Amino acid sequence: MRLFVLSALLHFLVGMRLVPQLPAWGMAALGAWLLASAVLIPFGLTARRWARPPRSDWLAAAGLFAMGLFSSLFVLTLLREVALLVNWLAGGWADLPARTAAWVPLLALAITLVGLANTRRTARVKAVDVPIAGLPAALEGFTIAQITDLHVGPTIRDRHIRRIVERVNALEADAVAITGDIVDGPVHELGPHVAPLAGLRSRHGSFFVTGNHEYYAGHGPWIEEVRSLGIRVLLNEHVVIEREGARLVLAGVPDYTAHHFERSHASDPAAALVGAPADAAARVLLAHQPRSATAAEQAGFDLQLSGHTHGGQFLPWVFFVRFQQPFTAGLHRLGGLWVYVSRGTGYWGPPKRFGAPSEITRLRLVAA
């Protein structure tokens, strides 16, 4: 009930600022959409309470689209209010409220439709070279294909995952890293849609670490499901990859917040290195959230691969992620540690990406 009340209140506030300033046809159109959106969003977020698949998926998809549109509408309305205040203080145009009211919903709709189109295409490959000091020739050019934040759910299904797998396999990487948040729902509903990940191919295998959404969806069953697909799950542990006498340690930790759900899953980069060979030429950590970087740097890792942020996913949230995470997207340096943060291969919630494109990352180790 609180969710419905909050939704109704926010939609009412936006409507009061825009609808009276529109011509008759605009008042009718925007008013009808706001009424529908105020109901669709909370119904979509709680779809599994009201219906079973596939109806719950249709309801969720409609609610998530409405959420994406209203998010832009709300932010643009706030920006318009600031512009109107400045105009009033400056003694500007008296008719500015009427002149700008229609632009807000039209711009919000345009951003949402472009964002929707961006989510329908398969993530593009982003190539990144990571310089590692003292990297031996045997490991020069070692490649890791990273996918993250797939968020399989109402609007991301098996067809989309198959296309991602095909694109990853075309890279012919040495290893595949899946850095969490593959699902938004239980195994019995989404297992068949995650199954295409079993087709991932690389020279040394595929490796997975949990994200926060695995814990929301039931981490135990999902960890077993991922293992059944032939993917190695790394929970504060590591594997050693050897090539022509040189060793690379590939380690993984549970999500930064995993201890809130299961104490034995407390994220610990130092524990993930216990027993690792001291002569390893490179140490790579898979950690869902960039916030693991401080502990990873202290543990002696050379590179951390993360996701979680989605790069903000769409404007204006791309500007706010940095207040919750130390790094938003791309390659960064923290002491002796490189941190690469992917913008994500899928998306969460609204089917919308604007200003933060999805990616499949091809990371290549090179000598510094």
CATH of the domain at 249: 3.60.21.10
Contact at 8 Å (CB) between 190 and 152? yes
Q: Which residues contact 329 (CB under 8 A, 6 or more apart)?
A: 309, 311, 312, 341, 342, 343, 356
Q: Are residues 89 and 208 in the same domain?
A: no
Domain boundary among 119, 137, 164: 119
Contact at 8 Å (CB) between 335 and 300? no
**What total number of domains does the chain contain?**
2
Both tokens of 166, joined, read 């095909």
- Write out the DSSP string of 199-221: G---SS-EEE---HHHHHH-HHH
Task: Look at phi and psi of residue 51 and say left if phi exceeds 0, alpha if psi is from -120 to 50, else beta.
Answer: beta
Q: Are residues 113 and 54 in the same domain?
A: yes
* Pairing of β 124-132 and β 232-233: unpaired
Q: Are residues 115 and 229 in the same domain?
A: no
* Residue 48: Cβ within 10 Å count: 16
Both tokens of 174, joined, read 């040495």
Q: What is the pLDDT of residue 188?
A: 94
Q: Are residues 102 and 243 in the same domain?
A: no
Q: What is the pLDDT of residue 339?
A: 98
Contact at 8 Å (CB) between 145 and 173? yes
Domain boundary among 60, 92, 119: 119
The domain in which residue 110 lies consists of: 2-119
Q: Are residues 89 and 135 in the same domain?
A: no
Burial 54-68 (b: 16+ CB within 10 A, else e): eebbebbbbbbbbbb
Q: What is the pLDDT of residue 70?
A: 97
Q: Are residues 25 and 96 in the same domain?
A: yes
Angle at 258 (CA atoms; ends 307, 354), nearest 5 degrees: 25
> Residue 257 and residue 259: Cα distance in Å, rounded?
6
| Helical packing angle, 2-18 and 24-45, nearest 10° | 160
Q: What is the pLDDT of residue 219?
A: 97
Q: Are residues 173 and 104 in the same domain?
A: no
Is the dihedral angle over the CA atoms 331, 123, 308, 112 positive or is it negative? positive
Q: What is the pLDDT of residue 147?
A: 98
Q: Are residues 168 and 210 in the same domain?
A: yes
pLDDT tens, position by position, for the chain (368 residues)?
Answer: 888 999 999 999 999 999 999 999 999 999 999 999 999 999 998 888 888 888 899 999 999 999 999 999 999 999 999 999 999 898 888 788 888 999 999 999 999 999 999 999 999 999 999 999 999 999 999 999 999 999 999 999 999 999 999 999 999 999 999 999 999 999 999 999 999 999 999 999 999 999 999 999 999 999 999 999 999 999 999 999 999 999 999 999 999 999 999 999 999 999 999 999 999 999 999 999 999 999 999 999 999 999 999 999 987 777 888 888 999 999 999 999 999 999 999 999 999 999 999 999 999 999 99
Domain boundary among 119, 138, 156: 119
Q: Are residues 181 and 237 in the same domain?
A: yes
3-state secondary structure (DSSP) of residue 281: coil
Q: Are residues 63 and 191 in the same domain?
A: no
User: Can you give the pTM of this predicted structure?
Assistant: 0.93
Q: Are residues 193 and 292 in the same domain?
A: yes
Q: Are residues 139 and 240 in the same domain?
A: yes
